[in-house]
Amino acid sequence: MIGGTKVINSYFAEAKQLLCLCFSIVILLLSSCEKDELSDNLPLRTVIVYMIADNNLDYFSVKDINEMEAGFDNDFNGNLIVYVDRAEGATPSHPIVYKISKDTTETITSEITFVYGEQNSANGTVMFGVLSDIINKYPAQSYGLILWSHGTAWYPEGTKISEVKNTFLGNSLKQLPLTKSFGRDGKGELNIKELKSSLPVHFDFIIFDACYMGSIEVVYELKDKASYIILSPTEVLSAGYPYKSIVGELFEETINYQSIANEFFISYDTLENAMQSVTISVVKTASLNSLATRVAMIMNDSSNLVKVNCNEIQQYTVEQQNLLFDFDDYLGKVTLNSVAYDNFKSTLDATIVFKSSTPNILDELSIDHFSGLSIFIPDSSNSEYYDFYKTLDWYKDCGYSNYFNKFYSGK
């Protein structure tokens, strides 16, 4: 009888455990359904524009916000939120956040939803806080990000790639158009590693409205932060993107990134002289790990590695030489292994889903080879950047140390 009692108790214990398990599963399923329903009830997308205009681009920040208002439709399934930190003397000069609404006047009429005290917007902690504030106030099913300011690819704070340029043509002085280069607030700058740690969520897309950000080092550092990245490996004119034309596309359920990039390209390609100046690329980040593997196969094949002459590689800068080179032009010359190069090229073509370039940039730089991304090539003239470069994810994952060690081990 005692044994029978044990059997009965054991049966009830197992039944109780099974009942608890079933109850837990039901709770989880209900909770999951509730979360799905909550998510479905959220707007499709919140697009955040982070504008660091506390510099010589202040005028263009107002112009672009007005374009965003003109292109916005209050029926869009989402919110367009603009954080702008304007220059000293502007009204206001401290950072504010606009919730963009439809308006076609030259006055910004959108609602101000956040007001911040004076702060360094090119600071990672500040940026993380601002983006988090916006995401918490305007939750959505997905997020997009536009980064608007001065920028210098992956290079560390203080690197000067270009400034406002004046060129003599005959006996007359010609001032070339002002360009954007991400993250300059006064004298403060945000390097690419700090930028990566400043992004609190995964974005559907990141668009860089800034110069030189189209480098393999930049997109690889940010590959886990966005599904697509749109950027330029050369200078970007200060007028930036044609926001009136593209804002609506940012709120489509399935975004046509090629169309957005092409609209940007056409807006400058149809101009004349120095204003006909643009490069643009769309990068699918899901392919970047495979691309790094292909490059590592080339770099690890030391017997076929060739020391390139930087003067024979397409450059993307004029004033400061030996800083940014065409990615494909370099890989095609650095190896004698044609099979490894062909494998790299096919993966590159799958990674860059759109690219386009005018023949010249600012009447100064001829674009003869355009793969869509730049890369850093070590050279005796740029060794000061080696230490910082070796901290980047791209350097660590693509086998680049073999090239450095083979040809620049003493640098």
Per-domain boundaries in the chain: 41-408
| Mean per-residue pLDDT, 230-235 | 95
pTM of the model: 0.86
- Sheet arrangement for strand 203-209: 111-115, 96-99, 78-86, 45-53, 142-148, 203-209, 226-231, 279-284, 352-357
Q: What span, in angstroms and rounded, lies between the C-alpha atoms of 54 and 144?
A: 23
Which residues, 6+ apart, have CB-to-CB distance to 357 below 8 Å?
Answer: 234, 278, 279, 280, 367, 370
Helix ranges (DSSP H) in 255-399: 257-269, 288-299, 327-334, 338-351, 386-389, 393-397
User: Is the pLDDT at 29 greater than 50, yes or no?
Assistant: no
Residues in the chain: 411
| Mean per-residue pLDDT, 28-47 | 67
DSSP label at residue 94: S
| Mean per-residue pLDDT, 171-198 | 62
Q: pLDDT tens across 67-105, in order?
A: 999 999 999 999 999 999 998 888 888 999 999 999 999
User: Is the pLDDT at 233 greater than 60, yes or no?
Assistant: yes
Q: pLDDT tens across 373-408, in order?
A: 999 999 989 999 999 999 999 999 999 999 999 999
Confidence of residue 185 (pLDDT cuts 50, 70, 90): low
pLDDT of residue 187: 57
CB 190 within 8 Å of CB 124: yes
pLDDT, mean over the chain? 87
Q: What span, in angstroms and rounded, lies between the C-alpha atoms of 391 and 237?
A: 30
Task: Tell me, rounded to whole angstroms, the distance of Cα 129 from its chain centroid.
Answer: 19
Name which of 78, 82, 72 is nearest 44 in CA terms. Answer: 78
Q: pLDDT tens across 194-214, in order?
A: 999 999 999 999 999 999 999
Q: Is 10 exposed, middle or buried (0-12, 13-18, 19+ CB in 10 A)?
A: exposed
pLDDT of residue 14: 53
User: Is the pLDDT at 143 greater than 60, yes or no?
Assistant: yes
Q: What span, in angstroms and rounded, lies between the C-alpha atoms of 388 and 157?
A: 10
Name which of 180, 153, 160, 152 is nearest 238 in CA terms. Answer: 180
More confidently predicted of 188 and 239: 239
Name which of 286, 153, 305, 160 is nearest 216 in CA terms. Answer: 153
- Which range has the worst mean pLDDT, 26-40, 201-215, 247-261? 26-40
More confidently predicted of 38 and 220: 220
Per cent of the chain over pLDDT 90 is 73
